[in-house]
Structure 1
């Protein structure tokens, strides 16, 4: 793949994340729960989901979700080492997410799929953003004002806050400049997910 192709791929992923607005983070107790939660998210109109490598039998869940929803983006988060990255690639992940700087993961991926690398400090987040989309984690530690301050010095950075993000705060994060927002339990446990998403995007 040429450097031009790599840049085009990175730009396309940024666009997909920006249009998604909400990225469900599916940290479930079983692979079956992950598959069910992913289906609910897609049925509710969301376009991408992030399974997590902390879920038992997550590669099995990833293969099933990929087979059931071939037109949607399915990634794997909480990827901490090269072995997990290779397994995720083999199982068909469209993108990979780490909660912290993970050079070994980036090297293992070799730009074959987009990599959303996480960080909390200004240096970590901005370094990750130079590769495409950065993950701010855990987002609740600094809060919305922290993201706003961070983007004041790097207005072109693409950042996805995740970790302790409530659905009621989604509109606030987006207004502060987040490219999209990662939401976990609040979204997965919503009885009426369609209404919950609409209210989250509309804000209070």
Structure 2
């Protein structure tokens, strides 16, 4: 990492294994829907499309049950909890079997809660201080990514070329390729991916499957 960026901390092997899954997936679907039944149906559609890393947000009614059921019915999926903003949510996510947690902001209390669990936290940020500070722990979430666009990611990576950054927020599938070409570690995609229709075909167009 650039000498101007925060120094990286040691990332546990278990966390690196999860990050490797995310890197390989390239697209991380963000499931943010009304209730558990709708979410589970969407998880089935995403799994059928070959997407094996999924973020299930804590804003869903019964989100922890969705995580547990996903682990039972799709054991090959690396499912994580999104919008984890409090230690209580972090404990619930760990108990539900989350493989990773994601926050829209820097949350030191959540990071402390997850310390020693082997569950990595991907913290979000918008400013260089926030994003590069989060990246020192492994992977940072650039959020909301659409505000700065691809050019902003390039600027961040120009000063910290080794930073692992996952843009999320307001990114249509048609722009995923541009983010990946600019150096994104992976790209989080919500409603444009999870909308009704053929997810397999949409993903194939983006990733060339």
Q: Smaller-chain TM-score range?
A: over 0.9
Pair 1:136-2:142 in alignment: yes
| SS, match of residue 24 in structure 1 | strand
Q: Partner residue of 2:203?
A: 197
State whether residues 145 and 167 of structure 2, in contact with CA within 8 Å, keep that contact through their aligned partners in structure 1. yes
| SS, match of residue 166 in structure 2 | strand
Q: Deviations over 1:34-82 (max 9, x none)?
A: 1111111111011110000111111111111111111210001011100
Gaps of at least 5 residues in structure 2 are 1-8
Pair 1:102-2:116 in alignment: no
Q: In structure 1, what is the Cα distance between the partners aligned to 2:128 and 2:52? A: 29
Gaps of at least 5 residues in structure 1 are none
Give the alignment partner of residue 167 of structure 1, picking from 170, 173, 186. 173
Pair 1:8-2:4 in alignment: no
Q: Partner residue of 1:65?
A: 70
RMSD: 1.4
Q: 1:111 to 1:149 in 2, by over 3 A?
A: farther
Give the alignment partner of residue 41 of structure 1, picking from 22, 42, 46. 46
Q: What TM-score do you get using the length of structure 1 for normalisation?
A: 0.94
Q: Partner residue of 2:125?
A: 119
Give the alignment partner of residue 81 of structure 1, picking from 72, 86, 111. 86
Q: In structure 2, what is the Cα distance between the partners aligned to 1:34 and 1:142? A: 29
State whether residues 32 and 57 of structure 2, in contact with CA within 8 Å, keep that contact through their aligned partners in structure 1. yes
Q: Deviations over 1:116-142 (max 9, x none)?
A: 111000110001111111100000010
